Structure 1
Amino acid sequence: MAIVQTRFHPAVPAAAPVEAPISLRERLARREVTLRAADGQAYVVRPIRPTDAASLMRGYDALENMSKWFRMQHALPHLSPAMALDFCTPDPARDICLVVEGKGALAGEILGGARIAGQADSRTAEFSVSLRPEARHLDLARQALETVFAAGREMGYVRVYATIHVDNTPMKTLARRLKCRLRRDPEDGALMIAERNL
Protein backbone atom coordinates (compact mmCIF):
# COMPACT_ATOMS: atom_id res chain seq x y z
CA MET A 1 0.00 0.00 0.00
CA ALA A 2 1.40 3.37 -1.00
CA ILE A 3 1.87 5.98 1.70
CA VAL A 4 0.81 9.44 0.61
CA GLN A 5 2.31 12.29 2.53
CA THR A 6 0.49 15.58 2.62
CA ARG A 7 1.53 18.87 4.00
CA PHE A 8 -0.74 20.95 6.14
CA HIS A 9 -1.35 24.41 4.83
CA PRO A 10 -2.86 26.79 7.37
CA ALA A 11 -5.91 28.66 6.21
CA VAL A 12 -5.09 32.02 4.71
CA PRO A 13 -7.22 34.71 6.35
CA ALA A 14 -9.39 36.68 4.01
CA ALA A 15 -7.88 40.02 3.16
CA ALA A 16 -9.27 42.86 5.20
CA PRO A 17 -11.52 45.10 3.15
CA VAL A 18 -9.61 48.01 1.72
CA GLU A 19 -11.20 51.27 2.80
CA ALA A 20 -10.95 54.30 0.59
CA PRO A 21 -8.87 57.04 2.18
CA ILE A 22 -10.94 59.66 3.95
CA SER A 23 -10.84 62.97 2.12
CA LEU A 24 -9.79 66.17 3.82
CA ARG A 25 -13.31 67.54 3.37
CA GLU A 26 -14.75 64.52 5.20
CA ARG A 27 -12.23 64.93 8.04
CA LEU A 28 -13.11 68.61 8.28
CA ALA A 29 -16.82 67.76 8.49
CA ARG A 30 -16.03 65.32 11.33
CA ARG A 31 -14.11 68.06 13.20
CA GLU A 32 -10.95 65.96 12.98
CA VAL A 33 -8.66 68.72 11.69
CA THR A 34 -6.87 71.13 14.00
CA LEU A 35 -4.51 74.03 13.46
CA ARG A 36 -1.52 74.42 15.80
CA ALA A 37 -1.37 78.11 16.64
CA ALA A 38 1.66 80.18 17.58
CA ASP A 39 0.50 80.03 21.22
CA GLY A 40 0.86 76.22 21.14
CA GLN A 41 -2.87 75.52 21.32
CA ALA A 42 -4.77 73.37 18.85
CA TYR A 43 -7.81 75.00 17.26
CA VAL A 44 -10.50 72.97 15.50
CA VAL A 45 -11.24 74.01 11.93
CA ARG A 46 -14.48 72.85 10.29
CA PRO A 47 -17.00 73.81 7.62
CA ILE A 48 -19.22 76.76 8.41
CA ARG A 49 -22.84 76.02 9.32
CA PRO A 50 -26.05 78.09 9.17
CA THR A 51 -26.09 78.08 12.98
CA ASP A 52 -22.84 80.10 12.91
CA ALA A 53 -24.64 83.20 11.57
CA ALA A 54 -25.05 84.95 14.93
CA SER A 55 -21.42 84.30 15.87
CA LEU A 56 -20.31 85.55 12.46
CA MET A 57 -22.18 88.81 13.08
CA ARG A 58 -20.53 89.23 16.49
CA GLY A 59 -17.13 88.50 14.99
CA TYR A 60 -17.68 91.07 12.25
CA ASP A 61 -18.71 93.66 14.84
CA ALA A 62 -15.43 92.99 16.70
CA LEU A 63 -13.39 94.07 13.65
CA GLU A 64 -11.91 97.55 13.39
CA ASN A 65 -13.58 99.79 10.82
CA MET A 66 -10.57 99.60 8.47
CA SER A 67 -10.59 95.79 8.66
CA LYS A 68 -14.29 95.80 7.75
CA TRP A 69 -13.58 98.07 4.81
CA PHE A 70 -10.70 95.90 3.60
CA ARG A 71 -12.86 92.79 3.92
CA MET A 72 -15.88 94.16 2.04
CA GLN A 73 -14.15 96.76 -0.18
CA HIS A 74 -16.74 99.29 0.99
CA ALA A 75 -18.14 100.66 4.24
CA LEU A 76 -20.40 98.14 5.96
CA PRO A 77 -20.74 98.76 9.72
CA HIS A 78 -22.66 95.54 10.46
CA LEU A 79 -23.66 92.29 8.80
CA SER A 80 -27.42 91.89 8.51
CA PRO A 81 -28.89 88.54 9.58
CA ALA A 82 -29.65 87.78 5.92
CA MET A 83 -26.06 88.53 4.86
CA ALA A 84 -24.65 86.44 7.70
CA LEU A 85 -26.87 83.50 6.81
CA ASP A 86 -25.82 83.81 3.17
CA PHE A 87 -22.13 83.65 4.21
CA CYS A 88 -22.94 80.60 6.35
CA THR A 89 -24.58 78.64 3.52
CA PRO A 90 -21.98 78.35 0.75
CA ASP A 91 -22.77 76.30 -2.35
CA PRO A 92 -21.32 72.85 -1.47
CA ALA A 93 -20.71 72.06 -5.14
CA ARG A 94 -18.51 75.13 -5.71
CA ASP A 95 -17.48 76.78 -2.45
CA ILE A 96 -15.71 75.90 0.77
CA CYS A 97 -15.84 78.05 3.89
CA LEU A 98 -13.97 76.89 6.97
CA VAL A 99 -14.19 78.42 10.42
CA VAL A 100 -11.82 78.26 13.36
CA GLU A 101 -13.51 77.49 16.68
CA GLY A 102 -12.71 79.70 19.65
CA LYS A 103 -11.33 78.71 23.03
CA GLY A 104 -11.43 80.09 26.55
CA ALA A 105 -13.40 83.32 26.72
CA LEU A 106 -14.37 82.81 23.07
CA ALA A 107 -15.44 79.17 23.39
CA GLY A 108 -18.61 78.67 21.36
CA GLU A 109 -17.68 81.52 19.03
CA ILE A 110 -15.94 81.37 15.68
CA LEU A 111 -12.62 83.21 15.57
CA GLY A 112 -12.83 83.69 11.83
CA GLY A 113 -12.39 81.63 8.75
CA ALA A 114 -11.10 81.10 5.25
CA ARG A 115 -13.12 80.66 2.10
CA ILE A 116 -12.78 79.83 -1.55
CA ALA A 117 -15.58 80.61 -3.98
CA GLY A 118 -15.53 78.65 -7.22
CA GLN A 119 -15.70 80.51 -10.50
CA ALA A 120 -17.60 79.59 -13.65
CA ASP A 121 -14.66 77.75 -15.23
CA SER A 122 -14.68 75.19 -12.37
CA ARG A 123 -10.88 75.45 -12.19
CA THR A 124 -10.40 78.84 -10.53
CA ALA A 125 -11.57 80.02 -7.11
CA GLU A 126 -11.41 83.33 -5.25
CA PHE A 127 -10.08 83.17 -1.69
CA SER A 128 -10.53 85.31 1.39
CA VAL A 129 -9.76 85.14 5.09
CA SER A 130 -10.87 87.06 8.15
CA LEU A 131 -10.11 86.73 11.86
CA ARG A 132 -11.26 88.45 15.00
CA PRO A 133 -8.62 90.77 16.51
CA GLU A 134 -8.12 88.31 19.40
CA ALA A 135 -6.97 85.64 16.95
CA ARG A 136 -4.37 87.63 15.07
CA HIS A 137 -0.65 86.91 15.33
CA LEU A 138 -1.38 83.22 15.99
CA ASP A 139 -0.62 82.08 12.41
CA LEU A 140 -4.21 80.86 12.09
CA ALA A 141 -4.98 82.86 8.94
CA ARG A 142 -2.14 81.24 6.99
CA GLN A 143 -2.99 77.74 8.19
CA ALA A 144 -6.71 78.19 7.55
CA LEU A 145 -5.99 79.30 4.00
CA GLU A 146 -3.58 76.43 3.38
CA THR A 147 -6.27 74.05 4.63
CA VAL A 148 -8.95 75.52 2.38
CA PHE A 149 -6.51 75.43 -0.56
CA ALA A 150 -5.92 71.71 0.06
CA ALA A 151 -9.68 71.12 0.15
CA GLY A 152 -9.98 73.10 -3.08
CA ARG A 153 -7.43 70.85 -4.76
CA GLU A 154 -9.63 67.88 -3.83
CA MET A 155 -12.48 69.60 -5.67
CA GLY A 156 -10.37 70.04 -8.79
CA TYR A 157 -9.41 73.69 -8.51
CA VAL A 158 -6.01 74.48 -9.98
CA ARG A 159 -5.71 78.23 -9.34
CA VAL A 160 -6.82 80.64 -6.61
CA TYR A 161 -6.76 84.41 -6.46
CA ALA A 162 -7.77 87.27 -4.17
CA THR A 163 -8.35 90.99 -4.66
CA ILE A 164 -6.51 93.03 -2.02
CA HIS A 165 -6.52 96.78 -1.41
CA VAL A 166 -3.07 98.31 -1.88
CA ASP A 167 -3.14 99.64 1.70
CA ASN A 168 -3.93 96.25 3.22
CA THR A 169 -0.35 95.46 4.22
CA PRO A 170 -1.15 92.48 6.50
CA MET A 171 -3.07 90.69 3.74
CA LYS A 172 -0.36 91.39 1.15
CA THR A 173 2.24 90.01 3.56
CA LEU A 174 0.12 86.90 4.15
CA ALA A 175 -0.35 86.43 0.39
CA ARG A 176 3.42 86.50 -0.09
CA ARG A 177 3.89 83.95 2.70
CA LEU A 178 1.46 81.72 0.82
CA LYS A 179 3.65 82.03 -2.30
CA CYS A 180 1.12 84.14 -4.17
CA ARG A 181 2.19 86.40 -7.01
CA LEU A 182 0.98 89.98 -6.56
CA ARG A 183 0.20 92.34 -9.40
CA ARG A 184 -1.83 95.51 -9.87
CA ASP A 185 -5.44 95.05 -10.84
CA PRO A 186 -5.58 96.39 -14.43
CA GLU A 187 -9.14 97.62 -13.84
CA ASP A 188 -8.59 99.38 -10.49
CA GLY A 189 -5.31 100.97 -9.43
CA ALA A 190 -6.31 100.82 -5.74
CA LEU A 191 -6.38 97.03 -5.82
CA MET A 192 -3.87 94.23 -6.22
CA ILE A 193 -4.49 90.67 -7.36
CA ALA A 194 -2.79 87.85 -5.48
CA GLU A 195 -2.77 84.54 -7.32
CA ARG A 196 -1.16 81.13 -7.13
CA ASN A 197 -1.53 77.68 -8.56
CA LEU A 198 -2.72 74.85 -6.36
Structure 2
Amino acid sequence: MVCSNRAGHDGGMISILSSVLRSRPSMNPYRSRQRIPPQPSHSLYREAPGPCASGERVSTDDGQDLLLRPIRPDDAPALMRAFGRMTPEQVRSRVFHALTELPEPVARWMCDVDPDATIALVLVDADGAEIRGEGRVHLDPATECAEFALAVDPDFTGKGLGRLLVSRLAEASRAAGMREIWGDTQAENNRMLALAKELGFTLRRENDDAGLVRMSLALAPMDGSGEATTT
Protein backbone atom coordinates (compact mmCIF):
# COMPACT_ATOMS: atom_id res chain seq x y z
CA MET A 1 0.00 0.00 0.00
CA VAL A 2 1.35 3.40 -0.85
CA CYS A 3 0.38 7.04 -0.42
CA SER A 4 2.31 10.09 -1.42
CA ASN A 5 2.90 13.68 -0.87
CA ARG A 6 1.76 12.09 -4.03
CA ALA A 7 1.41 8.37 -3.27
CA GLY A 8 -0.49 5.56 -1.30
CA HIS A 9 -0.37 3.77 2.00
CA ASP A 10 0.60 0.16 2.14
CA GLY A 11 2.67 -0.70 -0.79
CA GLY A 12 6.32 -0.66 -0.72
CA MET A 13 8.68 1.44 1.07
CA ILE A 14 10.14 4.66 0.03
CA SER A 15 7.54 6.58 1.77
CA ILE A 16 8.96 9.83 0.82
CA LEU A 17 11.12 9.94 -2.22
CA SER A 18 8.60 12.09 -4.03
CA SER A 19 8.40 14.47 -1.08
CA VAL A 20 12.16 14.75 -0.82
CA LEU A 21 12.61 15.35 -4.52
CA ARG A 22 9.89 17.94 -4.43
CA SER A 23 11.49 19.87 -1.60
CA ARG A 24 15.04 19.51 -2.98
CA PRO A 25 14.76 20.79 -6.58
CA SER A 26 18.45 20.22 -7.24
CA MET A 27 17.87 16.47 -6.74
CA ASN A 28 14.62 16.29 -8.65
CA PRO A 29 14.55 15.66 -12.39
CA TYR A 30 10.76 15.28 -12.17
CA ARG A 31 9.99 18.51 -10.30
CA SER A 32 6.35 18.24 -9.19
CA ARG A 33 3.87 20.99 -8.61
CA GLN A 34 3.53 21.03 -4.85
CA ARG A 35 4.83 23.78 -2.66
CA ILE A 36 7.59 23.47 -0.09
CA PRO A 37 6.09 23.77 3.39
CA PRO A 38 7.39 26.81 5.30
CA GLN A 39 9.42 25.97 8.38
CA PRO A 40 8.22 27.12 11.82
CA SER A 41 10.68 28.74 14.18
CA HIS A 42 10.63 25.90 16.72
CA SER A 43 10.49 22.13 16.73
CA LEU A 44 6.89 21.03 16.95
CA TYR A 45 7.88 17.38 17.10
CA ARG A 46 10.34 17.79 19.94
CA GLU A 47 7.75 19.74 21.91
CA ALA A 48 4.87 17.38 21.15
CA PRO A 49 6.29 13.97 20.28
CA GLY A 50 3.15 11.95 20.90
CA PRO A 51 3.27 8.21 21.63
CA CYS A 52 6.26 7.40 19.40
CA ALA A 53 9.04 9.56 20.85
CA SER A 54 11.01 6.63 22.33
CA GLY A 55 9.51 3.78 20.35
CA GLU A 56 6.35 1.75 20.70
CA ARG A 57 6.07 -2.03 20.52
CA VAL A 58 3.25 -3.01 18.19
CA SER A 59 1.97 -6.21 16.59
CA THR A 60 0.65 -6.83 13.10
CA ASP A 61 -2.83 -8.24 12.64
CA ASP A 62 -1.27 -11.70 12.33
CA GLY A 63 0.84 -11.36 15.47
CA GLN A 64 4.29 -10.27 14.21
CA ASP A 65 6.13 -7.94 16.57
CA LEU A 66 7.45 -4.63 15.27
CA LEU A 67 8.76 -1.38 16.74
CA LEU A 68 7.25 1.96 15.77
CA ARG A 69 9.70 4.83 16.22
CA PRO A 70 10.94 8.05 14.63
CA ILE A 71 13.19 7.63 11.63
CA ARG A 72 16.94 8.03 12.30
CA PRO A 73 19.93 9.02 10.14
CA ASP A 74 21.32 5.48 10.37
CA ASP A 75 18.15 4.09 8.76
CA ALA A 76 19.31 5.09 5.27
CA PRO A 77 20.66 1.64 4.22
CA ALA A 78 17.50 -0.09 5.46
CA LEU A 79 15.35 2.45 3.63
CA MET A 80 17.23 1.74 0.41
CA ARG A 81 16.70 -2.00 0.87
CA ALA A 82 13.02 -1.43 1.59
CA PHE A 83 12.65 0.55 -1.62
CA GLY A 84 14.27 -2.31 -3.50
CA ARG A 85 11.55 -4.67 -2.26
CA MET A 86 8.77 -2.59 -3.78
CA THR A 87 7.02 -3.85 -6.88
CA PRO A 88 7.06 -1.64 -10.00
CA GLU A 89 3.40 -0.83 -9.38
CA GLN A 90 4.15 0.22 -5.81
CA VAL A 91 7.01 2.43 -6.93
CA ARG A 92 4.79 4.12 -9.47
CA SER A 93 2.07 4.65 -6.87
CA ARG A 94 4.53 6.10 -4.39
CA VAL A 95 6.69 8.35 -6.55
CA PHE A 96 4.68 8.61 -9.77
CA HIS A 97 7.75 7.62 -11.79
CA ALA A 98 9.56 4.44 -12.78
CA LEU A 99 12.60 4.05 -10.52
CA THR A 100 14.57 0.90 -9.78
CA GLU A 101 16.48 2.07 -6.72
CA LEU A 102 16.52 4.82 -4.12
CA PRO A 103 19.65 6.99 -4.55
CA GLU A 104 21.81 7.00 -1.45
CA PRO A 105 21.88 10.82 -1.12
CA VAL A 106 18.10 10.90 -1.20
CA ALA A 107 17.87 8.09 1.36
CA ARG A 108 20.24 9.94 3.69
CA TRP A 109 18.25 13.15 3.33
CA MET A 110 14.99 11.32 3.97
CA CYS A 111 16.35 9.80 7.18
CA ASP A 112 17.90 12.99 8.55
CA VAL A 113 14.70 15.00 8.84
CA ASP A 114 14.26 18.55 10.05
CA PRO A 115 11.96 18.13 13.07
CA ASP A 116 10.73 21.69 12.61
CA ALA A 117 9.05 20.72 9.35
CA THR A 118 8.68 16.95 9.23
CA ILE A 119 7.51 14.09 11.42
CA ALA A 120 8.72 10.74 10.06
CA LEU A 121 8.02 7.33 11.59
CA VAL A 122 9.18 3.83 10.70
CA LEU A 123 7.98 0.37 11.60
CA VAL A 124 11.00 -1.91 11.98
CA ASP A 125 11.53 -5.59 12.76
CA ALA A 126 12.00 -6.51 16.40
CA ASP A 127 15.76 -6.67 15.81
CA GLY A 128 15.70 -3.31 14.02
CA ALA A 129 17.29 -4.71 10.86
CA GLU A 130 14.60 -3.98 8.27
CA ILE A 131 12.02 -1.26 7.73
CA ARG A 132 8.55 -2.68 7.12
CA GLY A 133 6.61 0.55 6.98
CA GLU A 134 7.39 4.26 6.77
CA GLY A 135 5.23 7.34 6.96
CA ARG A 136 5.65 11.03 7.43
CA VAL A 137 3.92 14.37 7.41
CA HIS A 138 5.19 17.74 6.25
CA LEU A 139 3.86 20.45 8.56
CA ASP A 140 2.65 23.73 7.10
CA PRO A 141 1.96 26.16 9.96
CA ALA A 142 0.74 28.80 7.50
CA THR A 143 -2.24 26.68 6.49
CA GLU A 144 -2.28 24.45 9.60
CA CYS A 145 -2.34 21.46 7.26
CA ALA A 146 -0.06 18.41 7.22
CA GLU A 147 0.66 16.55 3.98
CA PHE A 148 1.22 12.84 4.57
CA ALA A 149 2.96 10.04 2.70
CA LEU A 150 3.56 6.42 3.56
CA ALA A 151 4.37 2.99 2.26
CA VAL A 152 4.43 -0.55 3.61
CA ASP A 153 6.65 -3.46 2.65
CA PRO A 154 4.79 -5.62 0.09
CA ASP A 155 5.13 -8.68 2.35
CA PHE A 156 3.43 -6.75 5.17
CA THR A 157 0.44 -5.29 3.39
CA GLY A 158 -2.99 -6.18 4.71
CA LYS A 159 -1.67 -6.51 8.28
CA GLY A 160 -2.82 -3.16 9.67
CA LEU A 161 0.43 -1.23 9.28
CA GLY A 162 -1.01 1.44 7.01
CA ARG A 163 -3.87 2.06 9.42
CA LEU A 164 -1.45 2.33 12.34
CA LEU A 165 0.87 4.74 10.55
CA VAL A 166 -1.91 7.04 9.41
CA SER A 167 -3.44 7.08 12.89
CA ARG A 168 -0.12 7.94 14.54
CA LEU A 169 0.65 10.61 11.93
CA ALA A 170 -2.76 12.17 12.48
CA GLU A 171 -2.19 12.20 16.25
CA ALA A 172 1.23 13.78 15.87
CA SER A 173 -0.09 16.35 13.41
CA ARG A 174 -2.90 17.31 15.77
CA ALA A 175 -0.42 17.65 18.64
CA ALA A 176 1.70 19.89 16.41
CA GLY A 177 -1.23 22.25 15.92
CA MET A 178 -2.38 21.10 12.51
CA ARG A 179 -6.10 21.17 11.68
CA GLU A 180 -6.04 18.90 8.65
CA ILE A 181 -4.02 16.00 7.28
CA TRP A 182 -4.07 15.27 3.56
CA GLY A 183 -2.36 13.38 0.76
CA ASP A 184 -2.71 12.43 -2.89
CA THR A 185 -2.88 8.96 -4.40
CA GLN A 186 -3.58 7.50 -7.80
CA ALA A 187 -7.22 6.87 -8.64
CA GLU A 188 -6.57 3.16 -9.18
CA ASN A 189 -4.88 2.73 -5.77
CA ASN A 190 -7.91 0.92 -4.37
CA ARG A 191 -6.19 -0.32 -1.22
CA MET A 192 -5.18 3.18 -0.18
CA LEU A 193 -8.56 4.65 -1.02
CA ALA A 194 -10.35 1.95 0.97
CA LEU A 195 -8.18 2.65 3.99
CA ALA A 196 -8.74 6.38 3.70
CA LYS A 197 -12.50 5.85 3.62
CA GLU A 198 -12.27 3.54 6.63
CA LEU A 199 -10.42 6.21 8.59
CA GLY A 200 -12.93 8.93 7.71
CA PHE A 201 -11.02 10.80 5.02
CA THR A 202 -12.89 12.82 2.42
CA LEU A 203 -11.95 11.84 -1.14
CA ARG A 204 -12.12 14.03 -4.23
CA ARG A 205 -10.63 13.95 -7.71
CA GLU A 206 -8.02 16.54 -8.53
CA ASN A 207 -9.42 19.05 -11.02
CA ASP A 208 -6.18 19.36 -12.95
CA ASP A 209 -5.33 15.63 -12.91
CA ALA A 210 -8.18 13.13 -13.11
CA GLY A 211 -5.77 10.33 -12.27
CA LEU A 212 -5.22 11.65 -8.75
CA VAL A 213 -7.46 11.58 -5.70
CA ARG A 214 -7.01 14.04 -2.84
CA MET A 215 -7.60 12.52 0.62
CA SER A 216 -8.21 14.90 3.52
CA LEU A 217 -9.21 14.56 7.15
CA ALA A 218 -10.12 17.37 9.55
CA LEU A 219 -8.31 17.10 12.89
CA ALA A 220 -10.11 18.14 16.06
CA PRO A 221 -8.05 20.78 17.94
CA MET A 222 -6.40 19.86 21.23
CA ASP A 223 -7.93 21.14 24.46
CA GLY A 224 -5.98 22.36 27.46
CA SER A 225 -5.47 18.83 28.78
CA GLY A 226 -3.87 17.61 25.56
CA GLU A 227 -6.95 15.71 24.44
CA ALA A 228 -8.71 16.22 21.12
CA THR A 229 -11.87 18.25 21.52
CA THR A 230 -15.20 16.99 20.25
CA THR A 231 -17.96 18.88 18.52
SS in 2 for 1:108: coil
SS in 1 for 2:216: strand
Amino acid at match of 1:197: A
Q: How high is the TM-score relative to the length of structure 2?
A: 0.70
Shift of 1:38: 0.4
Q: How high is the TM-score relative to the length of structure 1?
A: 0.81
| 2:134 matches 1:110 | no
Aligned to 2:211: 190
Which residues of 2 match residues 81-100 of structure 1 at below 5 A?
A: 81-100=104-123
Q: Please say if residues 65 and 126 of structure 2, whose CA atoms lie closer than 8 Å, have aligned partners that are also in contact.
A: no
Paired residue total: 174
Aligned to 1:28: 52
- Of all paired residues, the percent bearing the same amino acid is 29
| 2:198 matches 1:177 | yes
Residues 41-92 of structure 1, C-alpha deviations (whole Å, 9 max, x = no match): 4421000011000100000000000100100011121110011111112220
Aligned to 2:89: 66
CA distance in 2, matches of 1:94, 1:122: 13
Q: Please say if residues 48 and 172 of structure 2, whose CA atoms lie closer than 8 Å, have aligned partners that are also in contact.
A: yes
Shift of 1:122: 5.1
Shift of 1:152: 1.1
Q: Please say if residues 166 and 191 of structure 1, whose CA atoms lie closer than 8 Å, have aligned partners that are also in contact.
A: yes
CA distance in 2, matches of 1:195, 1:27: 22
Aligned to 1:53: 76
Pick the aligned partner of 1:43 from 49, 57, 66: 66
Higher relative contact order (CA 8 A, sep 6+): 2
Shift of 1:181: 0.5
* Uncovered stretches (5+) of structure 2, i.e. residues with no partner: 1-46, 220-231
Pick the aligned partner of 1:154 from 162, 165, 175: 175
Aligned to 1:131: 152
Aligned to 1:75: 98
Aligned to 1:8: none
Instruction: Show structure 1 runs of 4+ deviating over 3 A.
Output: none
Residues 130-168 of structure 1, C-alpha deviations (whole Å, 9 max, x = no match): 011121111011011101110111111110111111111
SS in 1 for 2:151: strand
Shift of 1:27: 4.6
CA distance in 2, matches of 1:120, 1:151: 14
SS in 2 for 1:75: coil
In terms of Rg, which structure is larger?
Answer: 1
Shift of 1:175: 1.0
SS in 2 for 1:143: helix
Shift of 1:40: 2.5
Q: Please say if residues 52 and 69 of structure 2, whose CA atoms lie closer than 8 Å, have aligned partners that are also in contact.
A: yes
CA distance in 2, matches of 1:152, 1:196: 11
Aligned to 2:186: 165
Shift of 1:29: 2.6
Amino acid at match of 1:25: P
The 1:26–1:120 alpha-carbon spacing in structure 2 relative to 1, beyond 3 Å, is closer
Residues 16-51 of structure 1, C-alpha deviations (whole Å, 9 max, x = no match): xxxxxxx862652322x2333201344210000110
CA distance in 2, matches of 1:163, 1:45: 24
Alpha-carbon RMSD across the aligned residues, in angstroms, is 1.9
